[in-house]
């Protein structure tokens, strides 16, 4: 899956926040026509696909790499290959709680800005002494490496199918992982502050929620 983290550092929070992601790349039609900026809407969400964000602290949004995902044929090598050309545009929209105005924040990511086989470090902790949750924004962009296949989702699905066929030939009743959910973790991150992107790794912001 592809994961990206969004956060709101305002004192007055964004309500009714929704997020969407668009995959932009070139595409050749069946008639041979080249579409240089073909857009594909990516299915993103939290809690099983919900696009609405409970936006009181940083939230990780997920795109599952299934056969209908534009990332299904992308491998780790493709992300560092200079001939790979695509862009992922993430858009977050919501209403400013204090003014009622609609705000929008956007960010885009190129292949070399995506971390393959990384997960975000937790930034929300419960403080027993203060009886509330604390958010450490200094760790907003921090990730750690996890064991992840380097092949594409399509290749991994084929590996699962081949394994299932071999197990079936010997009469093994157990099946391997589902082919529709390749185990690939890709990470990118972004944060929202006053309708613009903030990527200052030196600032440390702690907010408490009781």
Rounded Cα gap, residues 52 and 48, in angstroms: 11
Distances (CA, A) of 14 to 21, 39, 50, 76, 144: 19, 27, 17, 35, 29
* Within-domain flag for 97: yes
The two three-digit tokens of residue 18, written as one number: 């929704």
Tens-place pLDDT, residues 146-163: 999 999 999 999 988 887
Tens-place pLDDT, residues 52-91: 787 788 889 999 999 999 999 999 999 999 888 999 999 9
Decide: residue 89, CB within 10 A, 0-12 exposed, 13-18 middle, 19+ buried.
middle
Report residue 152: phi and psi, to 5°. Answer: -75, 165
Parent domain of 29: 2-192
* Within-domain flag for 172: yes
Question: Total domain count for the chain?
Answer: 1
State the CATH number of the domain containing residue 85.
2.60.40.1400
* Within-domain flag for 51: yes
* Within-domain flag for 89: yes
* Within-domain flag for 201: no
The pTM for the full model equals 0.75
* Within-domain flag for 94: yes
């Amino acid at each position: 899956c592809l994961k990206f983290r969004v956060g709101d550092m305002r004192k007055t929070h964004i309500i009714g926040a929704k997020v969407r992601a668009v995959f932009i790349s070139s595409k050749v039609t069946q008639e041979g026509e080249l579409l240089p900026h073909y857009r594909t809407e990516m299915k993103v969400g939290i809690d099983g696909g919900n696009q609405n964000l409970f936006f009181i602290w940083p939230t990780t949004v997920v795109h599952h790499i299934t056969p209908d995902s534009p990332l299904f044929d992308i491998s780790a090598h493709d992300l560092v290959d200079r001939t790979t050309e695509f862009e992922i545009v993430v858009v977050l929209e919501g209403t400013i709680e204090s003014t009622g105005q609609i705000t929008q924040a956007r960010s885009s990511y190129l292949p070399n800005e995506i971390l393959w086989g990384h997960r975000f470090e937790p930034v929300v902790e419960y403080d027993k002494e203060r009886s509330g949750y604390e958010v450490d924004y200094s760790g907003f962009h921090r990730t750690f490496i996890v064991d992840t296949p380097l092949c594409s989702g399509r290749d991994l699905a084929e590996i699962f199918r081949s394994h299932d066929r071999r197990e079936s030939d010997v009469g093994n009743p157990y099946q391997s992982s589902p082919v529709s959910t390749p185990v690939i973790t890709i990470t990118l991150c972004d944060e929202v502050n006053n309708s613009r992107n903030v990527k200052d790794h030196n600032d440390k912001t702690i907010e408490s929620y009781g």
